[in-house]
Homo-oligomer: A and B are copies of this chain.
Amino acid sequence: MKHLLTKPEADLGFGNKTTQESPERFINKDGSFNIVRKGVQHYRLINIYSNLIAMSWFKFGIIVILYYTTVNLFFTFLYLLVGVHHLSGIEGNSFIDKFLDAFFFSAQTLTTVGYGRISPEGLPANIVASLEALLGVLVLAIATGVCYGRFAKPNARIAFSKNMIIAPYQDVTALEFKIANLRNNQLIDVEVILNYSYLETNKEGNRIRKYKTLELERSSVNFFPLSWTIVHPINEDSPLWEVSEGELAYLDAEFMILIKAVDDTFAQQVHVRSSYKFNEIIFNAKFNSIFDKVENGQIILELDRIDEFQKL
Protein backbone atom coordinates (compact mmCIF):
# COMPACT_ATOMS: atom_id res chain seq x y z
CA MET A 1 0.00 0.00 0.00
CA LYS A 2 2.15 2.75 -1.30
CA HIS A 3 0.06 5.62 0.05
CA LEU A 4 0.83 4.48 3.59
CA LEU A 5 4.39 5.59 2.95
CA THR A 6 3.56 9.29 2.65
CA LYS A 7 4.41 11.23 5.76
CA PRO A 8 1.00 11.89 7.35
CA GLU A 9 2.41 14.39 9.86
CA ALA A 10 3.14 16.76 7.02
CA ASP A 11 -0.41 16.90 5.65
CA LEU A 12 -2.16 20.22 6.01
CA GLY A 13 -5.60 18.67 6.28
CA PHE A 14 -7.08 19.92 3.04
CA GLY A 15 -7.28 16.40 1.63
CA ASN A 16 -5.81 15.71 -1.80
CA LYS A 17 -8.99 16.33 -3.75
CA THR A 18 -10.86 19.50 -2.99
CA THR A 19 -12.77 21.48 -5.55
CA GLN A 20 -11.61 22.01 -9.13
CA GLU A 21 -12.53 25.66 -9.12
CA SER A 22 -9.87 27.48 -7.20
CA PRO A 23 -10.50 29.80 -4.29
CA GLU A 24 -8.38 32.90 -4.34
CA ARG A 25 -6.12 31.51 -1.67
CA PHE A 26 -6.46 28.86 1.02
CA ILE A 27 -4.84 30.69 3.90
CA ASN A 28 -5.26 34.44 4.21
CA LYS A 29 -2.31 36.64 5.06
CA ASP A 30 -3.52 36.93 8.66
CA GLY A 31 -3.49 33.13 9.02
CA SER A 32 -7.27 32.55 8.88
CA PHE A 33 -8.66 29.97 6.45
CA ASN A 34 -10.50 31.17 3.36
CA ILE A 35 -13.46 28.92 4.17
CA VAL A 36 -17.15 29.50 5.00
CA ARG A 37 -19.09 26.97 7.10
CA LYS A 38 -22.75 26.51 6.20
CA GLY A 39 -25.61 24.22 7.12
CA VAL A 40 -25.30 24.56 10.87
CA GLN A 41 -27.21 27.13 12.86
CA HIS A 42 -24.93 30.08 13.25
CA TYR A 43 -24.97 29.93 17.06
CA ARG A 44 -23.55 26.41 17.08
CA LEU A 45 -20.51 27.54 15.16
CA ILE A 46 -19.78 30.22 17.65
CA ASN A 47 -18.26 29.96 21.04
CA ILE A 48 -19.36 33.14 22.87
CA TYR A 49 -16.36 33.07 25.13
CA SER A 50 -13.81 32.77 22.35
CA ASN A 51 -15.54 35.62 20.50
CA LEU A 52 -15.43 37.87 23.57
CA ILE A 53 -11.78 36.98 23.90
CA ALA A 54 -10.84 37.53 20.29
CA MET A 55 -12.57 40.89 19.60
CA SER A 56 -10.74 44.22 19.85
CA TRP A 57 -10.72 46.16 23.13
CA PHE A 58 -12.78 48.90 21.45
CA LYS A 59 -15.53 46.48 20.41
CA PHE A 60 -15.35 44.83 23.83
CA GLY A 61 -15.84 48.24 25.48
CA ILE A 62 -18.91 48.95 23.32
CA ILE A 63 -20.41 45.60 24.28
CA VAL A 64 -19.80 46.25 27.97
CA ILE A 65 -21.47 49.70 27.80
CA LEU A 66 -24.41 48.25 25.84
CA TYR A 67 -24.83 45.42 28.32
CA TYR A 68 -24.64 47.83 31.28
CA THR A 69 -27.29 50.16 29.78
CA THR A 70 -29.61 47.35 28.71
CA VAL A 71 -29.56 45.52 32.03
CA ASN A 72 -30.09 48.79 33.92
CA LEU A 73 -33.02 49.69 31.66
CA PHE A 74 -34.52 46.24 32.23
CA PHE A 75 -34.31 46.57 36.02
CA THR A 76 -35.52 50.20 35.88
CA PHE A 77 -38.57 48.84 34.09
CA LEU A 78 -39.06 46.27 36.89
CA TYR A 79 -38.73 48.93 39.60
CA LEU A 80 -41.27 51.11 37.79
CA LEU A 81 -43.51 48.05 37.51
CA VAL A 82 -43.48 47.27 41.24
CA GLY A 83 -43.74 50.99 41.97
CA VAL A 84 -40.94 53.45 42.69
CA HIS A 85 -42.61 54.43 45.97
CA HIS A 86 -41.02 51.20 47.22
CA LEU A 87 -37.61 52.80 46.69
CA SER A 88 -37.25 54.99 49.78
CA GLY A 89 -35.24 58.13 49.17
CA ILE A 90 -36.62 58.89 45.72
CA GLU A 91 -37.65 62.52 45.78
CA GLY A 92 -38.61 63.53 42.23
CA ASN A 93 -42.27 63.77 41.28
CA SER A 94 -42.17 63.76 37.48
CA PHE A 95 -41.96 60.43 35.63
CA ILE A 96 -38.60 61.38 34.20
CA ASP A 97 -37.19 62.03 37.69
CA LYS A 98 -38.55 58.74 38.97
CA PHE A 99 -37.20 56.95 35.93
CA LEU A 100 -33.72 58.42 36.36
CA ASP A 101 -33.62 57.71 40.08
CA ALA A 102 -34.68 54.10 39.45
CA PHE A 103 -32.11 53.79 36.67
CA PHE A 104 -29.20 55.00 38.77
CA PHE A 105 -30.37 53.01 41.78
CA SER A 106 -30.21 49.99 39.47
CA ALA A 107 -26.66 50.90 38.43
CA GLN A 108 -25.64 51.24 42.08
CA THR A 109 -27.09 47.82 42.80
CA LEU A 110 -25.62 46.07 39.77
CA THR A 111 -22.10 47.31 40.55
CA THR A 112 -22.74 46.55 44.27
CA VAL A 113 -21.65 50.11 45.12
CA GLY A 114 -24.97 50.55 46.99
CA TYR A 115 -24.71 54.12 48.37
CA GLY A 116 -28.03 53.68 50.17
CA ARG A 117 -29.50 57.16 49.65
CA ILE A 118 -32.10 55.23 47.69
CA SER A 119 -32.88 51.77 49.04
CA PRO A 120 -35.61 49.19 48.49
CA GLU A 121 -38.49 48.84 50.94
CA GLY A 122 -41.21 46.22 50.89
CA LEU A 123 -41.21 42.75 49.42
CA PRO A 124 -41.41 43.38 45.62
CA ALA A 125 -38.65 45.99 45.37
CA ASN A 126 -36.43 44.00 47.71
CA ILE A 127 -36.84 40.85 45.61
CA VAL A 128 -35.90 42.70 42.44
CA ALA A 129 -32.95 44.46 44.10
CA SER A 130 -31.57 41.29 45.67
CA LEU A 131 -31.77 39.47 42.33
CA GLU A 132 -30.07 42.37 40.60
CA ALA A 133 -27.26 42.33 43.16
CA LEU A 134 -26.85 38.59 42.63
CA LEU A 135 -26.72 39.12 38.88
CA GLY A 136 -24.12 41.86 39.39
CA VAL A 137 -21.95 39.50 41.41
CA LEU A 138 -22.25 36.71 38.85
CA VAL A 139 -21.57 38.98 35.91
CA LEU A 140 -18.51 40.31 37.71
CA ALA A 141 -17.36 36.71 38.01
CA ILE A 142 -17.89 36.16 34.30
CA ALA A 143 -16.31 39.49 33.36
CA THR A 144 -13.29 38.52 35.42
CA GLY A 145 -12.94 35.29 33.48
CA VAL A 146 -13.30 37.06 30.15
CA CYS A 147 -10.84 39.83 31.02
CA TYR A 148 -8.35 37.28 32.24
CA GLY A 149 -8.81 35.28 29.07
CA ARG A 150 -8.32 38.39 26.93
CA PHE A 151 -5.10 39.24 28.71
CA ALA A 152 -3.64 35.79 29.04
CA LYS A 153 -4.47 34.37 25.61
CA PRO A 154 -1.40 33.20 23.75
CA ASN A 155 -0.62 35.74 21.06
CA ALA A 156 2.67 35.33 19.32
CA ARG A 157 3.40 38.12 16.88
CA ILE A 158 5.72 36.89 14.17
CA ALA A 159 6.80 39.15 11.35
CA PHE A 160 7.05 37.48 7.93
CA SER A 161 9.17 38.98 5.16
CA LYS A 162 6.84 40.56 2.59
CA ASN A 163 8.24 38.33 -0.17
CA MET A 164 9.61 34.88 -0.69
CA ILE A 165 12.85 34.71 -2.63
CA ILE A 166 14.20 32.12 -5.06
CA ALA A 167 17.93 32.46 -5.37
CA PRO A 168 21.20 30.52 -5.46
CA TYR A 169 22.02 29.11 -2.05
CA GLN A 170 25.25 27.26 -1.33
CA ASP A 171 25.48 24.70 -4.18
CA VAL A 172 21.82 24.75 -5.22
CA THR A 173 18.91 27.14 -5.66
CA ALA A 174 16.61 27.68 -2.71
CA LEU A 175 13.18 29.05 -1.82
CA GLU A 176 13.56 31.32 1.21
CA PHE A 177 11.50 33.49 3.51
CA LYS A 178 12.32 35.22 6.74
CA ILE A 179 10.58 35.45 10.11
CA ALA A 180 11.25 37.39 13.30
CA ASN A 181 9.65 37.57 16.72
CA LEU A 182 8.03 41.01 17.17
CA ARG A 183 7.59 40.54 20.90
CA ASN A 184 9.97 40.61 23.82
CA ASN A 185 8.42 37.35 25.02
CA GLN A 186 10.77 34.50 24.20
CA LEU A 187 9.60 31.77 21.85
CA ILE A 188 11.02 28.30 22.48
CA ASP A 189 11.05 25.12 20.38
CA VAL A 190 9.94 26.84 17.19
CA GLU A 191 8.90 24.45 14.41
CA VAL A 192 8.07 25.38 10.80
CA ILE A 193 6.04 23.41 8.23
CA LEU A 194 6.00 24.68 4.64
CA ASN A 195 3.38 23.35 2.24
CA TYR A 196 3.11 23.87 -1.51
CA SER A 197 -0.28 23.87 -3.24
CA TYR A 198 -0.69 23.92 -7.03
CA LEU A 199 -3.01 22.88 -9.87
CA GLU A 200 -2.05 19.65 -11.62
CA THR A 201 -3.47 18.55 -14.97
CA ASN A 202 -4.63 14.92 -14.65
CA LYS A 203 -5.12 12.25 -17.32
CA GLU A 204 -8.60 13.51 -18.22
CA GLY A 205 -7.18 16.98 -18.74
CA ASN A 206 -8.82 18.41 -15.63
CA ARG A 207 -6.77 20.66 -13.44
CA ILE A 208 -7.02 19.49 -9.84
CA ARG A 209 -5.37 20.97 -6.79
CA LYS A 210 -2.48 19.08 -5.19
CA TYR A 211 -0.54 19.58 -1.95
CA LYS A 212 3.10 18.83 -1.20
CA THR A 213 5.15 19.43 1.91
CA LEU A 214 8.51 21.01 1.15
CA GLU A 215 11.57 19.70 2.94
CA LEU A 216 13.42 22.40 4.90
CA GLU A 217 17.12 22.72 5.48
CA ARG A 218 16.24 23.22 9.12
CA SER A 219 12.70 22.89 10.39
CA SER A 220 13.05 23.67 14.09
CA VAL A 221 15.17 25.65 16.54
CA ASN A 222 15.27 25.64 20.34
CA PHE A 223 15.51 29.41 20.74
CA PHE A 224 14.32 32.15 18.42
CA PRO A 225 16.04 35.32 19.68
CA LEU A 226 17.03 36.72 16.27
CA SER A 227 15.47 36.52 12.83
CA TRP A 228 15.39 33.21 11.01
CA THR A 229 15.65 32.58 7.28
CA ILE A 230 13.74 29.42 6.42
CA VAL A 231 15.27 27.62 3.45
CA HIS A 232 13.83 24.99 1.13
CA PRO A 233 16.71 23.78 -1.09
CA ILE A 234 15.34 23.25 -4.63
CA ASN A 235 17.20 20.07 -5.50
CA GLU A 236 16.07 17.25 -7.77
CA ASP A 237 13.71 15.88 -5.11
CA SER A 238 11.88 19.19 -4.81
CA PRO A 239 8.59 19.72 -6.69
CA LEU A 240 9.97 23.16 -7.54
CA TRP A 241 13.00 21.76 -9.41
CA GLU A 242 13.71 24.06 -12.39
CA VAL A 243 10.33 25.79 -12.13
CA SER A 244 10.17 29.24 -13.77
CA GLU A 245 8.34 32.40 -12.70
CA GLY A 246 5.72 31.89 -15.44
CA GLU A 247 5.15 28.28 -14.51
CA LEU A 248 4.48 29.18 -10.86
CA ALA A 249 1.75 31.55 -12.07
CA TYR A 250 0.29 28.89 -14.38
CA LEU A 251 0.28 26.38 -11.49
CA ASP A 252 -1.56 28.96 -9.32
CA ALA A 253 1.06 28.20 -6.65
CA GLU A 254 0.44 28.98 -2.98
CA PHE A 255 2.95 28.39 -0.19
CA MET A 256 1.28 27.76 3.17
CA ILE A 257 3.17 28.06 6.44
CA LEU A 258 2.40 26.71 9.89
CA ILE A 259 4.63 27.76 12.78
CA LYS A 260 4.36 26.13 16.20
CA ALA A 261 6.21 27.45 19.22
CA VAL A 262 6.07 27.64 23.00
CA ASP A 263 5.66 31.09 24.59
CA ASP A 264 8.15 31.05 27.42
CA THR A 265 6.30 33.54 29.66
CA PHE A 266 3.06 31.59 29.85
CA ALA A 267 4.41 28.14 28.91
CA GLN A 268 1.68 27.97 26.28
CA GLN A 269 1.85 26.56 22.79
CA VAL A 270 1.18 29.12 20.07
CA HIS A 271 0.44 28.64 16.38
CA VAL A 272 0.96 31.13 13.59
CA ARG A 273 -0.14 30.60 9.99
CA SER A 274 0.51 32.56 6.84
CA SER A 275 0.84 32.04 3.10
CA TYR A 276 2.57 33.43 -0.02
CA LYS A 277 0.97 33.42 -3.49
CA PHE A 278 3.11 33.02 -6.63
CA ASN A 279 3.08 36.78 -7.28
CA GLU A 280 4.80 37.41 -3.94
CA ILE A 281 7.94 35.53 -4.97
CA ILE A 282 11.06 37.38 -6.09
CA PHE A 283 13.56 35.58 -8.30
CA ASN A 284 17.29 36.10 -7.97
CA ALA A 285 17.46 38.19 -4.83
CA LYS A 286 19.08 37.95 -1.44
CA PHE A 287 17.74 39.03 1.96
CA ASN A 288 19.77 41.62 3.82
CA SER A 289 20.98 40.66 7.27
CA ILE A 290 19.12 42.49 10.03
CA PHE A 291 21.55 41.75 12.81
CA ASP A 292 24.99 42.81 11.81
CA LYS A 293 25.67 45.34 14.53
CA VAL A 294 26.87 45.08 18.09
CA GLU A 295 26.43 48.08 20.38
CA ASN A 296 27.68 48.14 23.98
CA GLY A 297 28.26 44.41 23.79
CA GLN A 298 24.64 43.74 22.78
CA ILE A 299 23.43 42.39 19.44
CA ILE A 300 21.14 44.87 17.65
CA LEU A 301 18.18 43.41 15.77
CA GLU A 302 16.61 45.85 13.27
CA LEU A 303 13.10 44.49 12.86
CA ASP A 304 11.97 47.11 10.33
CA ARG A 305 14.44 45.74 7.82
CA ILE A 306 12.99 42.22 7.63
CA ASP A 307 11.50 42.86 4.15
CA GLU A 308 14.75 44.17 2.67
CA PHE A 309 16.42 42.26 -0.14
CA GLN A 310 18.79 43.07 -2.97
CA LYS A 311 18.58 41.85 -6.56
CA LEU A 312 21.57 39.76 -7.61
Contacts and interface: CB of A to CB of B under 8 A. Distances in A.
Contact of A268 (B14, B48, B109, B267): B267
Contacts of A108: 113-114, 129-130, 133
Nearest to A290: B39
Of the four ranges (under 10, 10 to 19, 20 to 34, 35 or more), the interface on chain A belongs to: 35 or more
Interface string A18-38: 110111111000000111111
A23 B294 contact: yes
Interface string A108-149: 110111111111110100100110011011101111111111
A293 B39 CA distance: 13
Interface string A270-302: 110100000000000000001111110111111
A40 interface: yes
A40 B155 contact: no
A152 B141 contact: no
A69 to B, nearest CB: 10
Contacts of A188: 258, 260, 271
Given A140-B144, A265-B153, A3 B217 contact: yes
B13 A224 contact: yes
A130 B107 contact: yes
Interface string A27-66: 0000001111111100011111110011000000000110
A201 interface: no
Given A68-B134, A142-B147, A152-B145, A104 B116 contact: no
B222 A10 contact: yes
A10 B222 CA distance: 7
A74 interface: no
A262 interface: yes
A154 interface: yes
Given A45-B183, A112-B111, A184-B45, A298 B35 contact: yes
A226 interface: yes
A277 B261 CA distance: 28
A170 B35 contact: no
Contacts of A65: 134
B222 A193 contact: yes
B298 A34 contact: yes
A301 B144 contact: no
Given A119-B116, A134-B64, A138-B147, A37 B262 contact: no
A186 B254 CA distance: 20
A153 B265 CA distance: 8
Given A136-B137, A140-B141, A186-B271, 20 more contacts: A1-B217, A3-B170, A3-B217, A9-B220, A10-B222, A13-B190, A18-B226, A19-B291, A23-B294, A26-B299, A36-B300, A40-B182, A49-B152, A65-B134, A72-B130, A107-B133, A109-B113, A138-B147, A141-B146, A149-B151
